[in-house]
């Protein structure tokens, strides 16, 4: 019996419509034979549903179920939506041997679509490692040469070595927001939760925000975008967020929580929190804690690094990790023109691993960094000091200040006598102005300092009070400021 002309009023609405009109609002993947029972191979049915939706210009609904596929699904410019990322799941069939450079779902040259409330599960797939670095590459969802799309509130699970959760290449104006991505067994072999690439042409305008990534991380090769509010934990390949050295500009990395990168990956690198090689960007308000290597490393010009917290990093001793590393590789990739201010870099553990709060490091050749502004930052409690020694052939610090601190124990000082100590401060030079502060009461004792040798400040407590004074022990804070017109600017 044909009841398509019968009318009904949808719950919560006020206007009756025919059932034919109601069911034509979108297409349902089950209307094309997909079962979603977690066992039946739904590949052909899913592809037929996608092709029909594209032809009709309709969205495609995925009711609750596990839709098993055994061959790549060709994505069209069709909006997909499910009943929830744990309820409506597209899953690789157990034992499916993926070919290199293929994925479970792939689309190219698309625009104006969304993927929402769906799960993508790679756990059944078999992925050969390949040879060389990075080896073979596979993905759950790959979108290439496409524009104006959104991936929201989806789950990417069962990520394995050599796999990517969501991969984009040469895409523009896209968003990946509110997703959950999991690699159950983190690996030092190539893998990522999210990648963007400019391999086929420019990639610009992106938002990667509010995602939860467990055991896997983010790697970017796109400009003019924002990485915001993501939680990244427990990965073992690359850095928590990597902005790659392919001349990227205007990438903001802000408000992310990044914890626990561990081990040595296949590239011979220890995972750090944020690795930034872009230009004219902002790295702000991130928390990088307990990483194998550095909390944040920057080796590119004209960036602002501000208000980040880098705590207890350098968990792998061989990594010699610091809170913030400012690198110089060559005349293009160096931290020249960066402003590093308002950051808190400390090690609160009883066995300290974060060597310095901030360190400037020459990665190759001579130091080519200039016009680098550091301070003020909070750099207390690190294993070896506030600021690391600068292995440099040219001074790159450009005001307003260098900062440092040291334990100090003047104790009892008789009238007319002095107590002296030297505080190491990399970058200090003859002619610099010095300011000092002692954490305890000075009881009228005169405190002053001067730079008599490079990389050090000589500090003096002078008792001219007329009587012996005991000022005990405390913390001595040191600020050094360069004079205007300094020749190394």
pLDDT at 401: 64
pLDDT at 18: 44
Quote the pTM value: 0.81
pLDDT at 488: 41
* pLDDT per position as a tens digit, 404-431: 889 999 999 999 999 999 999 877 888 8
Are both 164 and 47 inside the same structural domain?
yes
Q: Is residue 7 part of a domain?
A: no
Are both 181 and 321 inside the same structural domain?
no
Q: Which of 380, 400, 420 is the last residue of a domain?
A: 400
List the domain range (segments joined by +) for residue 410. 404-481
DSSP 41-57: E-HHHHHHHHHHHHHHT
Are both 411 and 356 inside the same structural domain?
no
pLDDT at 423: 93
Q: Which of 352, 379, 400 is the last residue of a domain?
A: 400
Q: Is residue 89 part of a domain?
A: yes
Q: Is residue 9 part of a domain?
A: no
> Does residue 224 come out as left (phi exceeding 0), alpha (psi in the -120 to 50 range) or beta?
left
Q: Is residue 218 part of a domain?
A: yes
Are both 325 and 445 inside the same structural domain?
no
Q: Is residue 248 part of a domain?
A: no
Are both 221 and 303 inside the same structural domain?
no
Q: Is residue 44 part of a domain?
A: yes
Task: Quote the tokens at residue 250.
Answer: 């205007």
The CATH number of the domain holding residue 202 is 2.160.20.10
CA 220 to chain centre: 9
Are both 27 and 164 inside the same structural domain?
yes
Are both 326 and 462 inside the same structural domain?
no
Per-residue pLDDT of the chain (489 residues; tens, 9 = 90+): 554 555 555 445 455 534 344 445 799 999 999 999 999 999 999 999 999 999 999 999 999 999 999 999 999 999 999 999 999 999 999 999 999 999 999 999 999 999 999 999 999 999 999 999 999 999 999 999 999 999 999 999 999 999 999 999 999 999 999 999 999 999 999 999 999 999 999 999 999 999 999 999 999 999 999 999 999 999 999 999 999 999 999 999 999 999 999 999 999 999 999 999 999 999 999 999 999 999 999 999 999 999 999 999 999 999 999 999 999 999 999 999 999 999 999 999 999 999 999 998 888 887 788 788 887 889 989 999 888 765 443 334 444 467 788 999 999 999 999 999 999 987 788 888 898 999 999 999 999 999 999 889 999 999 999 999 999 999 999 988 776 554 443
Are both 391 and 441 inside the same structural domain?
no
Are both 190 and 148 inside the same structural domain?
yes
Are both 155 and 231 inside the same structural domain?
yes
Q: Is residue 2 part of a domain?
A: no
For the chain, the straight-line distance linking the first and the last C-alpha, in angstroms and rounded, comes to 86
Q: Which of 176, 203, 237 is the last residue of a domain?
A: 237
Are both 336 and 439 inside the same structural domain?
no
Q: Is residue 204 part of a domain?
A: yes
Q: What's the number of domains the chain is made of?
A: 3
Calpha distance 424→58 (Å, rounded): 68
* pLDDT per position as a tens digit, 322-349: 999 999 999 999 999 999 999 999 999 9
Long-range contacts of 41-48 (CB under 8 A, 24+ apart): 41/68, 41/69, 41/70, 41/93, 42/67, 42/68, 42/69, 43/68, 43/69, 43/70, 43/71, 43/73, 46/73, 46/90, 47/73, 47/74
Are both 387 and 450 inside the same structural domain?
no
pLDDT at 17: 35
């Amino acid at each position: 019996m044909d009841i398509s002309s019968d009318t009904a009023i949808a719950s919560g609405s006020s206007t009756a419509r025919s059932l034919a009109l109601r069911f034509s609002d979108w297409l349902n993947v089950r209307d094309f034979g997909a079962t979603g029972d977690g066992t039946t191979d739904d590949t052909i049915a899913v592809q037929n549903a996608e092709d029909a939706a594209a032809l009709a210009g309709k969205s495609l609904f995925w009711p609750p179920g596990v839709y098993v596929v055994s061959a790549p699904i060709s994505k069209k410019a069709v909006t997909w939506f499910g009943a929830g990322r744990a309820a409506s799941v597209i899953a690789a069939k157990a034992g499916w041997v993926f070919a290199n450079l293929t994925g479970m779902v792939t689309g190219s040259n698309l625009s104006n679509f969304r993927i929402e409330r769906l799960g993508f599960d790679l756990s059944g797939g078999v992925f050969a490692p390949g040879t060389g670095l990075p080896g073979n590459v596979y993905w759950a969802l790959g979108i290439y040469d496409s524009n104006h799309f959104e991936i929201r509130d989806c789950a990417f699970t069962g990520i394995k070595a050599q796999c990517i959760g969501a991969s984009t290449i040469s895409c523009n104006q896209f968003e990946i927001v509110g997703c959950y991505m999991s690699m159950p067994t983190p690996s030092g072999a190539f893998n990522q939760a999210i990648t963007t690439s400019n391999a086929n042409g420019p990639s610009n305008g992106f938002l990667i925000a509010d995602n939860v990534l467990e055991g896997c991380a983010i790697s970017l090769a796109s400009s003019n975008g924002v990485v915001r509010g993501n939680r990244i934990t427990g990965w073992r390949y690359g850095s928590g967020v990597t902005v790659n050295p392919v001349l990227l500009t205007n990438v903001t990395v802000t408000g992310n929580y990044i914890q626990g990168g561990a081990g040595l990956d296949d590239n011979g690198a220890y995972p750090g929190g944020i690795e930034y090689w872009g230009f004219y960007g902002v790295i702000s308000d991130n928390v990088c804690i307990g990483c194998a290597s550095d909390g944040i490393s920057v080796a590119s010009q004209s960036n602002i690094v501000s208000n980040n917290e880098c705590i207890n990093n350098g968990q792998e001793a061989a990594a010699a990790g610091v809170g913030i590393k400012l690198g110089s590789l060559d005349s293009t990739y160096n931290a020249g023109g960066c402003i590093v201010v308002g950051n808190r870099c400390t090690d609160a553990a009883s066995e300290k691993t974060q060597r310095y709060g901030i360190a400037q490091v020459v990665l190759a050749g001579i130091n080519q960094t200039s016009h680098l502004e550091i301070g003020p930052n909070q750099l207390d409690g690190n294993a070896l000091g506030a600021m690391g020694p600068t292995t440099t052939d040219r001074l790159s610090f450009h005001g307003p200040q260098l900062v440092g601190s040291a334990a100090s124990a003047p104790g009892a000082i008789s009238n007319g006598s002095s107590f002296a100590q030297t505080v190491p401060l990399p970058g200090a030079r003859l002619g610099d102005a010095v300011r000092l502060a002692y954490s305890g009461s000075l009881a009228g004792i005169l405190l002053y300092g001067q730079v008599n040798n490079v990389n050090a400040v000589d500090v003096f407590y002078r008792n001219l009070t007329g009587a012996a004074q005991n000022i005990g022990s405390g913390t001595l804070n040191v600020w050094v400021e360069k004079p205007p017109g300094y020749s190394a600017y």
